[in-house]
Structure 1
Amino acid sequence: MRLRNKPWAREMLQSHPQFVILSPEQYKGKWNTAFEKDQPLHIEVGTGKGRFITEMAKANPHINYLGIELYESVIVVALDRLIEANLPNVKLLNVNAEKLTEYFAKGDVDRVYLNFSDPWPKTRHAKRRLTHENFLKLYEEILVDKGEIHFKTDNQGLFEFSLMSFSEYGLLLKYLSLDFHKSDFEGNIMTEYEEKFSQQGSRIYRCEVKYQ
């Protein structure tokens, strides 16, 4: 993915601490204190431009949301959304997902969302996929017992890899759709990529898995 450099992005993120968590390590084990209300925390790993996480927060005020994104030039777009929406139950975190356990303790997170993650199609890059067993171990270390992962993608190869990865790790499959937009699922909130790909006629794959 080619990203346009935005040299002003870091300064913008730092100037909005009400929406961007600047020192996440201080909330490890006590993320309830980062929000106005003590309620379940759902995180989106790879939140991109923030449409999904913002709309989820609007639709579910009884849940706290945290959008995690590595690239400053992308997360500032999500920040614009948050500033406009001005919601108390959603914030952003500009960190590398490989370091999740540095910022979250066991039981801090109730659910992980993975939406249209980079497929990293080359075999040698498999460990970079957010559904690789290395990441599944990280999620397990921060989720509540029997916590869930909800995963959506347009990439059939990544979906097949992910299902195998989930199965080999011992996760329980709760929901599966090989053509999600033709399913009877209600209340779906689309990401920017999801809307784009579905309009182009691409099939959307979705599943929900649970740790046992």
Structure 2
Amino acid sequence: MRVRHKPWAKEKIEQYPQYIVANPEQYKGKWHEVFEKDQPLHIEVGTGKGQFITEMARANPSINYIGIELYDSVIITALERLIDADLPNLRLLNVNAVDLPKYFAKNDVDQVYLNFSDPWPKYRHEKRRLTYKDFLKIYEEILVDGGEIHFKTDNQGLFEYSLMSFSSYGLLLKYVSLDFHNSGYEGNIMTEYEEKFSEQGNRIYRCEVKYQN
């Protein structure tokens, strides 16, 4: 993903700590303090411009959501969405996914979303894929027992790789669709990339996997 640098983004992020949580490590094990209600917590790793996580939070007020995005020049758009929406059950984190165990304790998170992650197609970049075994271990460290990952992509190679990675790690494949938009699934909320790729006629792949105790 090519990111256009926005030199003013960092300063704006610092102006809204009520939306993009500053010093998130202080909430490890007590994320309920950040939200108005103590309810299940779902996170999106690589939230991008925030369309998916914002609409999920709007549609599901009984669930708390956190969108996680490394690049400040990208998360700034998600912040602007959240400022407009002012949803009490949605917050953002401007952090690296490899550091998630610094900010979340075991059982803090009920579900993880991975949407249109960078496929990192070259073999030497395998460890950067968000479905690589090291990342699966990271998610396991912060999820409840039996927690789930919901994964969507338009990249067939990444999807096939991810299914093998999930299976090798011992995750239970609950749901797999090789043509999600023609699957009859109801209630799908699309990301910006999903809208773009589906309009181009690209097939969308989706799966739901569960950690087994």
Q: Calculate the TM-score normalised by the size of structure 1.
A: 0.99
Alpha-carbon distance between aligned partners in 1 of 2:70 and 2:133, rounded to the nearest angstrom: 20
Q: What letter is aligned with 1:153?
A: T
Are residues 1:35 and 2:29 paired? Answer: no
For residues 123 and 182 of structure 2, what CA distance do their matches in structure 1 show?
31
Following superposition, the deviation at residue 56 of structure 1 comes to 0.1
Match of 1:24 in 2: 24
Q: Deviation digits for residues 92-115 of structure 1, max 9, x if unmatched?
A: 000000000000000000000000
Deviation at 1:184, TM superposition (A): 1.2
The one-letter code matched in structure 1 to 2:159 is F
Structure 2 partner of 1:53: 53
Q: SS at 1:149's partner residue?
A: strand
1:207 corresponds to 2:186: no
Structure 2 gap segments, 5+ residues each: none
Distance in 1 separating the partners of 2:19 and 2:187: 25
Please give the alpha-carbon distance, in whole angstroms, between the structure 1 residues aligned to 2:111 and 2:3: 28
Instruction: Please name the residue that 1:6 is paired with.
Output: 6
Deviations 1:64-86 (A, max 9, x none): 00000000000000000000101
Structure-2 separation of matches of 1:4 and 1:147: 35
Alignment of 1:191-206 (within 5 A): 191-206=191-206
How far has the Cα of 1:63 moved from its partner?
A: 0.2
Residue 83 (str. 1) matches residue 83 (str. 2): yes
Normalised by the length of structure 2, the TM-score is 0.99
Rounded Cα–Cα distance in structure 2 between residues aligned with 1:37 and 1:8: 33
Structure 1, unpaired ranges of 5+ = none
Count of aligned pairs: 212
> Alpha-carbon deviation of 1:8?
0.7
* Paired letter, 1:143: L
Q: How do 1:112-123 and structure 2 match up within 5 A?
A: 112-123=112-123
Identity of aligned residues (%): 77
Equivalent position of 1:177 in the other structure: 177
SS of residue in 2 equivalent to 1:65: strand
Q: What does 1:19-168 correspond to in 2, within 5 Å?
A: 19-168=19-168
Q: Distance in 1 between matches of 2:2 and 2:210?
A: 33
Deviation at 1:32, TM superposition (A): 0.8
Residue by residue over 1:107-134, the C-alpha shift from the partner in whole angstroms, topping out at 9 and shown as x without a partner, is: 0000000000000000000000000000
SS in structure 2 of the partner of residue 95 of structure 1: coil
Task: Compute the RMSD of aligned alpha carbons.
Answer: 0.4
Q: Secondary structure at the match of 1:111?
A: strand
Question: Which piece of structure 1 moves more, 107-116 or 15-24?
Answer: 15-24
The Cα offsets for residues 187-210 of structure 1, whole Å up to 9 and x where unpaired, read as 000000000000000000000000
Q: Which amino acid aligns with 2:160?
A: E
Q: Deviations over 1:153-172 (max 9, x none)?
A: 00000000000000000000
